[in-house]
């Protein structure tokens, strides 16, 4: 009997395997029988639905039995107050008002050049001489005539004081003397223009016109003089900073070519806005004790236009914006000992930025725990878990 059951079981397995083989997808497709193919598809759809339902039941059971909460992992930092100095970054060129190309005041031949390049000179020092074209001889004659007119006038004056002679003679002598004296003064002024003098103390940077050349008044450049003591930077500032960029504000001047940084201040800010480009001019004083700063050097400026002693600063990367244009951040509220808390969205108002840092001026208090990593993926009211959290870490 046992052998009969064994034989029966083996026969059943063979028949079942044979039936499954005959009913496989490959065999059904090879049959080219539309009805058979449709029946096979229906069987597979029913099996798929049954499997999906089974998986769903299993998931629900797993959920009901799993006591651990699956919450997003985040990192945070704590808002704290600190001093915030905002700077306006601009670029300008070093210059000086004591840089001048000297031109003559008189037409003629440059007869003498008394200085050379690199020579230091004092204000009023004679630098060059232009031929006066005979004015000196004319002046000598006028002085003789003036001296005679002076003698005549003094004699007539003494006689008039003694009531000797007529008043008209006294007045004529006085008029002649005064006109001669005025003629001498005018000619002396003309001759003085033939002397080229230093307008300020400095260094002769370049002798442009050589001795013996013919020069024209106000046109021919004779030499260039420069004084490196009073250096400054003139920069154009956007009009939006007119109330913040004022005299006395701190400025950091960087001179890339020299590898030098100087701390200085604004010495003058213009009160006039240029209508062409909506800017105003500011002058920044540049100390030059070593005389290594030259005119026309490029300078990078950082002007302190805003300072807050107790500012709350956060990275711009943690800020999002809603459809109404409002900025917000996520903070962690009600955090327990295990680091589990609730993400809460807070609308904020921001101020000035400096690099990736921005000042929060409203709706954020010192000590608030702000979500950093994960801020873009959490939702308002969602449970979150803080990891690698360090109190006061604002990095």
The per-residue pLDDT for range 190-240, each reduced to its tens digit, is 888 999 999 999 999 999 999 999 999 999 999 999 998 889 999 999 999
Show Cβ contacts of residue 356 under 8 Å, excluding neighbours closer than 6 positions: 315, 316, 317
Give the model's pLDDT for residue 394.
46
Extract the tokens encoding 325.
């244009």
Residue 75: the pLDDT is 92
What are the residues facing 236 on neighbouring strands? 281
Question: Cα(299)–Cα(345) distance, rounded to whole angstroms?
Answer: 44
Instruction: Look at residue 25 in the predicted model and tell me its pLDDT.
Output: 79
pLDDT at 120 over 90: yes
Query: pLDDT category, 117, cuts 50, 70, 90?
Result: very high
pLDDT per residue over 46-99, tens digit each?
A: 888 888 888 888 877 776 665 445 688 899 999 999 999 888 999 999 999 889
What phi, psi does 373 have (nearest 5°)? -75, 125
**Which uninterrupted H or E stretch holds 188?**
helix 167-192
Q: Which pLDDT band holds residue 313 (cuts at 50, 70, 90)?
A: very high
How many other β-carbons are positioned within 10 Å of the β-carbon of residue 107?
Answer: 17
Q: Whose CA is closest to 102, among 176, 203, 250?
A: 203
pLDDT tens per residue, range 371-387: 999 888 889 999 898 98
Closest CA to 108 of 223, 217, 218, 222: 217
Average pLDDT, the chain: 85
Q: Are 256 and 298 in contact (CB under 8 A)?
A: yes
Q: Inform me whether the pLDDT recorded for 148 exceeds 50.
A: yes
End-to-end CA distance of the chain: 83
What pLDDT does 238 receive? 93
Domains of the chain: 2-64 (no CATH), 73-84+309-386 (2.40.420.20), 90-97+226-307 (2.40.30.170), 104-224 (2.40.50.100)
> Does 136 score more than 50 pLDDT?
yes
Predicted pLDDT at 10:
44
């Amino acid at each position: 009997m046992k052998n009969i059951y064994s034989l029966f079981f083996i026969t059943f397995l063979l028949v079942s395997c044979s039936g499954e083989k005959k009913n496989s997808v490959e065999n059904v497709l090879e049959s080219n029988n539309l009805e058979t193919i449709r029946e096979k598809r229906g069987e597979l759809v029913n099996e798929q639905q049954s499997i999906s339902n089974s998986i769903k039941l299993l998931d629900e059971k797993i959920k009901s039995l799993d006591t651990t909460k699956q919450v997003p992992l985040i990192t945070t930092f704590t808002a704290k107050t600190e001093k915030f100095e905002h700077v306006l970054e601009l670029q300008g060129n070093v210059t000086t008002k004591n840089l001048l190309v000297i031109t003559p005041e008189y037409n003629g031949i440059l007869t003498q050049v008394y200085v050379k390049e690199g020579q230091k000179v004092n204000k009023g020092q004679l630098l060059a001489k232009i031929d006066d074209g005979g004015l000196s001889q004319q002046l000598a004659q006028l002085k003789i005539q003036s001296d005679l007119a002076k003698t005549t006038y003094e004699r007539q004056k003494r006689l008039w004081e003694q009531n000797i002679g007529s008043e008209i003679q006294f007045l004529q002598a006085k008029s002649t003397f005064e006109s001669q004296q005025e003629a001498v003064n005018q000619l002396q002024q003309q001759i003085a223009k033939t002397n080229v003098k230093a307008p300020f103390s400095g260094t002769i940077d370049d002798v442009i016109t050589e001795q013996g050349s013919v020069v024209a008044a106000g046109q021919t450049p004779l030499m260039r003089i420069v004084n490196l003591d009073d250096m400054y930077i003139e920069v154009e500032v956007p009009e939006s900073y007119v109330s913040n960029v004022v005299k006395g504000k701190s400025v950091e001047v960087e001179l890339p070519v020299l590898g030098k940084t100087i701390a200085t201040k604004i010495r003058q800010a213009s009160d006039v806005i240029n209508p062409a480009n909506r800017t105003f001019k500011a002058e920044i004083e540049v100390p030059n004790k070593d005389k290594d700063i030259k005119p026309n050097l490029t300078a990078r400026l950082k002007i302190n236009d805003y300072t807050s002693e107790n500012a709350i600063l956060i990275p711009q990367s943690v800020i999002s914006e809603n459809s109404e244009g409002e900025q917000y951040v996520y903070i962690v509220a009600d955090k327990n000992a295990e680091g589990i808390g609730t993400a809460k969205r807070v609308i904020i108002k921001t101020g000035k930025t400096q690099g990736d840092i921005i000042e929060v001026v409203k709706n954020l208090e010192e000590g608030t725990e702000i979500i950093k990593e994960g801020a873009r993926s959490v939702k308002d009211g969602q449970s979150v878990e803080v990891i690698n959290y360090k109190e006061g870490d604002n990095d």
